[in-house]
């Protein structure tokens, strides 16, 4: 059964009455979902098939080619990871390409908002950082783009990882050479009759995942910071209540901020606001959904309408003039929902078109012109709004976003003593038990966002500092966990002391899905600061994407695991019909790289696993146990 946790039920009913299904309805209609698919036992990699393995051991145990359950599930899993890595990495490539255009003076709508970061990255690529800023942008972007096609050398940012992790990857032969190549390699070796050893296939997938985390995603993060500015802690509001009854509402949805950032500027243009007033609105309200929301939230303070599962509900408010989408996590079901209202759906990316949407193609060279055209289309749609259909929920919540591995130095150590020392000392002394990364999507199979909230509250009361990205961060933000005041309400004594001293929330918003790379960097910085072992696998850190849904989440999970961090999923990977493969992923992998997958649907048990893992790591480092008893809070 879908778990809709009673959130926004009014809007769901409105859609039902209008004859448009929501993601919850469509999920129900799919039940029972295919057991072979769930167990990872079906294969259609060649035209001898499709084949499926009988999970009860009575029917066929191998496909027509002879592949068994372990080979089939490993191949399927590897292809998921490759697709996820490809998605993030392509995102990174696009931002780097725009950076190159800026360096060449061909993209006048953009600027270098963070020259400091540009210089920092230039040094890492061996470029003289004192060159003219445009020239530097060109050189750095060229180096970034070269990373994708490298044929001999390892990708540059691997050097950011602790030496121990680099040695493990070399030993396992999974250090990625180039970003595209390991992805192509997965597709090649999972073809019929190529790689048939489930462990070897999985190692190939790990290489593709590392190319994502330490390559494509990291480039996406760094190039976005260079172009649009490194985030700073910023307060904003979240939830559907950010939509305004008397203003033109434009929602931006997707992942790549190249257009959305320019739309933010276009929507503030006097000419556009004047036009909105002429059409009878008081102004223009811009808000975001999914990771585009995270990108423009943390750099421009733009409010967030909602997470993945709220995209259809936003339209059901009847108050959205236009939803502008780029790519990733955009439900094709939106078109049916929008057809019940006046909302214009505008696709903008050549790689992501939707039957039923208006396509206005985005070109970097003409970004502002296109952005203004889109805003104008939305404004002109305002008179078509049927006021009798407007139902905007009242709920909003404050959040603080915009933490990065660079600025957290300052929050922790002060401007003149910028250092991770207080954080490491907090862990060493036991004030903090450890750090948890709670990331990923929201999913009706679990609790539509609430599983994140329950898990995070359990971690906070046990003095675990939580870092978040993606829709998980937005779900917790809606519950009021991303404000400094949440420390008083939910944190254990040790975490509360630290949050109150430095004025940070107990849950730190680190950005979008590609910004999981920031968590990797933060982990590396903690190891470099000293006192907590020699590798990411040695200190008390764990991750979870309990409500995962996208293939991108499998890539993210696997690069954390390959980097030494165990990762909890609420619904298992589709491999559990293959016994040896499941054992490899959930047990044996730990001895190879320090991380492993854990499948646990109960958010409290999932949090307890993470806490237990942190305690084990503390013991191995001969640290004192956590200083305080867990806080007694009813979750
Ligand atoms: Fe069947 Fe093997 Fe072809 Fe897969 S690759 S469809 S298991 S014959
Ligand atoms: S948007 S990948 S639903 S986190 Fe990055 Fe949210 Fe998951 Fe998409």
DSSP category for residue 96: H
Of the candidates 524, 593, 423, 520, the residue with the CA atom closest to the CA atom of residue 162: 524
Mutate which of 44, 52, 62, 64 for ligand 1? The one with the most ligand atoms within 8 Å of its CB, which is 64
Q: What percent of the chain has pLDDT over 70?
A: 98
> Could you tell me which residues are beta bridge partners of residue 467?
437, 508
Q: How far is the CA of 575 from the centre of ligand 1 (A)?
A: 16
Cα(93)–Cα(163) distance, rounded to whole angstroms?
Answer: 27
User: Measured at the alpha carbon of residue 269, what is the angle toward residues 264 and 275, in degrees to the nearest 5?
Assistant: 115
Q: Can you give the pLDDT at residue 447? A: 86
359 SS3 class: strand
What is the greatest pairwise CA distance in the chain? Answer: 72
Alpha carbons within 13 angstroms on the beta-carbon side of residue 256 total 28
Q: Give the ranges where 479-550 is alpha helix by DSSP (H).
A: 485-490, 493-502, 516-529
Residues 6+ apart with CB under 8 A from 261: 228, 295, 296, 299, 300
Mutate which of 72, 78, 577 for ligand 1? The one with the most ligand atoms within 8 Å of its CB, which is 72
Are 507 and 486 contacting, i.e. CB atoms less than 8 angstroms apart? Answer: yes
- Between 18 and 42, where is the model more confident? 42
Q: Can you give the pLDDT at residue 8? A: 85
20 SS3 class: coil
Q: Ligand 2, residue 553: give the atom nearest the CA.
A: 2
Q: Is pLDDT at 9 greater than 80 in this prediction?
A: yes
DSSP category for residue 286: E
The pLDDT tens digits of the residues spanning 561-597 come to 999 999 999 999 999 999 999 999 999 999 999 999 9
> Could you tell me which residues are beta bridge partners of residue 154?
177
Residue 58 to residues 54, 55, 62, 66, Cα–Cα distance (Å): 6, 8, 12, 16
Q: Tell if the pTM clears 0.85, that is, is over it.
A: yes
Q: Can you give the pLDDT at residue 409? A: 72
Q: Can you give the pLDDT at residue 634? A: 59
Q: What percent of the chain has pLDDT over 90?
A: 94
Residues 6+ apart with CB under 8 A from 459: 436, 438, 466, 607, 610, 611
The pLDDT tens digits of the residues spanning 332-366 come to 999 999 999 999 999 999 999 999 999 999 999 99
| Paired tokens of 447 | 């609790």
Q: Can you give the pLDDT at residue 440? A: 97
Are 187 and 207 contacting, i.e. CB atoms less than 8 angstroms apart? Answer: no
The pLDDT tens digits of the residues spanning 75-87 come to 999 999 999 999 9
Are 144 and 96 contacting, i.e. CB atoms less than 8 angstroms apart? Answer: yes
Pairing of strands 234-238, 397-401: antiparallel
Mean pLDDT of 225-248: 97
Cα(299)–Cα(520) distance, rounded to whole angstroms?
Answer: 21
| Paired tokens of 426 | 């907090």
CB of 550 closer than 6 angstroms to any ligand 2 atom: yes
Are 516 and 550 contacting, i.e. CB atoms less than 8 angstroms apart? Answer: no
- Kindly indicate the confidence band of residue 492, based on its pLDDT and cuts at 50, 70 and 90: very high
CB of 552 closer than 6 angstroms to any ligand 2 atom: yes
The whole-angstrom distance between residue 438's C-alpha and the CA centroid of its chain comes to 10
CB of 565 closer than 6 angstroms to any ligand 2 atom: no
| Paired tokens of 225 | 């910071």
The whole-angstrom distance between residue 521's C-alpha and the CA centroid of its chain comes to 15
DSSP category for residue 67: -
Are 81 and 205 contacting, i.e. CB atoms less than 8 angstroms apart? Answer: yes
Mutate which of 40, 42, 45 for ligand 1? The one with the most ligand atoms within 8 Å of its CB, which is 45
CB of 574 closer than 6 angstroms to any ligand 2 atom: no
55 SS3 class: coil
Q: Can you give the pLDDT at residue 1? A: 62
Cα(235)–Cα(496) distance, rounded to whole angstroms?
Answer: 20
The pLDDT tens digits of the residues spanning 267-290 come to 999 999 999 999 999 999 999 999
Q: Can you give the pLDDT at residue 417? A: 60
* Residue nearest atom 3 in ligand 1 by C-alpha distance: 46
* Residue nearest atom 2 in ligand 1 by C-alpha distance: 65
Q: Is pLDDT at 455 greater than 70 in this prediction?
A: yes
Q: How far is the CA of 115 from the centre of ligand 2 (A)?
A: 29
Are 5 and 448 contacting, i.e. CB atoms less than 8 angstroms apart? Answer: yes
CB of 491 closer than 6 angstroms to any ligand 2 atom: no
Please count the other Cβ atoms lying within 10 Å of the Cβ belonging to residue 486.
24
Cα(192)–Cα(79) distance, rounded to whole angstroms?
Answer: 13
Checking phi first, is residue 392 left (phi over 0); if not, alpha (psi -120 to 50) or beta?
beta
DSSP category for residue 264: H
CB of 470 closer than 6 angstroms to any ligand 2 atom: yes
Mean pLDDT of 2-25: 86
Residue 611 to residues 320, 429, 433, 537, 607, Cα–Cα distance (Å): 42, 16, 8, 15, 6
Least confident range from 2-11, 286-295, 552-561: namely 2-11
In SS3 terms, 319-347 reads as: CCCEEEECCCCCCCCHHHHHCCCCCEEEE
Q: Ligand 2, residue 470: give the atom nearest the CA.
A: 4
Q: Is pLDDT at 245 greater than 90 in this prediction?
A: yes
Residue 474 to residues 17, 238, 291, 410, Cα–Cα distance (Å): 28, 8, 9, 24
Q: Can you give the pLDDT at residue 635? A: 53
Pairing of strands 234-238, 597-599: unpaired
Q: Can you give the pLDDT at residue 415? A: 56
Q: Ligand 2, residue 469: give the atom nearest the CA.
A: 4
Ligand 1 binding pocket, CB closer than 6 Å: 43-46, 48-51, 63-65, 67, 72, 192
Mean pLDDT of 506-535: 97
* Residue nearest atom 8 in ligand 2 by C-alpha distance: 329
Q: Is pLDDT at 416 greater than 80 in this prediction?
A: no
- Kindly indicate the confidence band of residue 4, based on its pLDDT and cuts at 50, 70 and 90: low
Cα(573)–Cα(287) distance, rounded to whole angstroms?
Answer: 33
The pLDDT tens digits of the residues spanning 112-160 come to 999 999 999 999 999 999 999 999 999 999 999 999 999 999 999 999 9
Cα(534)–Cα(107) distance, rounded to whole angstroms?
Answer: 44
Mean pLDDT of 475-501: 96
Q: How far is the CA of 51 from the centre of ligand 1 (A)?
A: 6
Cα(17)–Cα(26) distance, rounded to whole angstroms?
Answer: 15
- Kindly indicate the confidence band of residue 7, based on its pLDDT and cuts at 50, 70 and 90: confident
Q: Can you give the pLDDT at residue 408? A: 83
Q: Can you give the pLDDT at residue 420? A: 87
Cα(142)–Cα(140) distance, rounded to whole angstroms?
Answer: 5
């Amino acid at each position: 059964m879908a778990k809709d946790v009673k959130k926004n039920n009014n809007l769901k009913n409105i859609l039902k009455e209008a004859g448009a299904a929501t993601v919850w309805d469509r999920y129900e209609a799919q039940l029972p979902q295919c057991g072979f698919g769930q167990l990872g036992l079906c294969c259609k990699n060649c035209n001898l098939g499709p084949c499926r393995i009988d999970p009860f051991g009575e029917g066929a145990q191998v496909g027509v080619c002879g592949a068994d359950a372990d080979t089939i599930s490993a191949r399927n899993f590897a292809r998921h990871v490759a697709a996820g890595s490809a998605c993030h990495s392509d995102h990174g490539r696009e931002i780097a390409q725009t950076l190159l255009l800026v360096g060449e003076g061909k993209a006048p709508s953009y600027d270098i908002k963070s020259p400091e970061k540009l210089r920092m990255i230039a040094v890492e690529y061996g470029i003289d950082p004192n060159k003219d800023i445009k020239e530097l942008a060109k050189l750095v972007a060229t180096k970034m783009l070269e990373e994708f096609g490298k044929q001999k050398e390892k990708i540059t940012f691997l050097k950011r990882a602790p030496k121990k992790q680099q040695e493990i990857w070399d030993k396992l032969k999974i250090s990625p050479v180039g970003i595209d190549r390991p992805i192509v390699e997965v597709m090649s070796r999972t073809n019929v009759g190529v790689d048939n050893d489930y462990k070897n296939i999985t190692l190939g997938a790990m290489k593709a995942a590392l190319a994502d985390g330490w390559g494509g995603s990291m480039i996406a993060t760094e190039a976005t910071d260079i172009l649009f500015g490194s985030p700073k802690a910023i307060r904003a509001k979240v939830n559907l209540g950010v939509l305004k009854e008397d203003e033109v509402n434009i929602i931006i949805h997707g992942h790549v901020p190249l257009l959305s950032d320019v739309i933010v500027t276009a929507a503030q243009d006097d000419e556009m606001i004047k036009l909105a007033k002429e059409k009878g609105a008081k102004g223009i309200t811009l808000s975001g959904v999914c990771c585009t929301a995270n990108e423009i939230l943390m750099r421009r303070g733009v409010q967030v309408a909602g997470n993945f599962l709220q995209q259809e509900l936003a339209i059901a408010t009847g108050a959205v003039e236009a939803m502008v989408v780029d790519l990733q996590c955009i439900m094709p079901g939106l078109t049916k929902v929008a057809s019940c209202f006046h909302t214009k759906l505008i696709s903008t990316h050549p790689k992501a078109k939707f039957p039923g949407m208006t396509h206005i193609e985005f070109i970097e060279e003409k970004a502002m012109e296109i952005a203004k055209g889109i805003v104008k289309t939305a404004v002109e749609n305002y008179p078509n709004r049927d006021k009798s259909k407007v139902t905007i929920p009242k709920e909003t919540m404050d959040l603080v976003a915009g933490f990065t591995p660079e600025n957290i130095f300052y929050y922790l150590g002060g401007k003149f003593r910028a250092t991770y020392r207080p954080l490491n000392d907090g862990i060493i002394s036991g004030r903090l038990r450890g750090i948890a990364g709670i990331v990923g999507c929201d999913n009706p199979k679990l609790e539509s966002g609430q599983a994140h909230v329950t898990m995070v509250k359990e971690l906070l009361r046990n003095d675990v500092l939580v870092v978040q990205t993606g829709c998980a961060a937005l779900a917790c933000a809606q519950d009021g966990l991303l404000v400094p005041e949440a420390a008083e309400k939910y944190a254990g004594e040790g975490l509360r002391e630290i949050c109150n001293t430095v004025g940070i929330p107990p849950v730190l918003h680190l950005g979008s899905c590609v910004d999981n790379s920031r968590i990797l960097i933060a982990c590396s910085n903690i190891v470099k600061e000293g006192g907590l072992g020699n590798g990411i696998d040695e200190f008390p850190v764990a991750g979870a994407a309990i409500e995962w849904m996208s293939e991108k989440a499998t890539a993210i999970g696997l690069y954390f695991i390959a980097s030494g961090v165990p990762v909890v999923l609420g619904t298992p990977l589709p491999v559990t019909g293959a016994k040896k493969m499941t054992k490899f992923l959930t047990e044996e992998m730990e001895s190879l790289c320090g991380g492993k997958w854990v499948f646990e649907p109960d958010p409290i048990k999932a949090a307890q696993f993470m806490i237990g893992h942190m305690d084990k790591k503390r013991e191995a480092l001969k640290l004192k146990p956590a200083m305080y008893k867990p806080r007694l809070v009813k979750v």
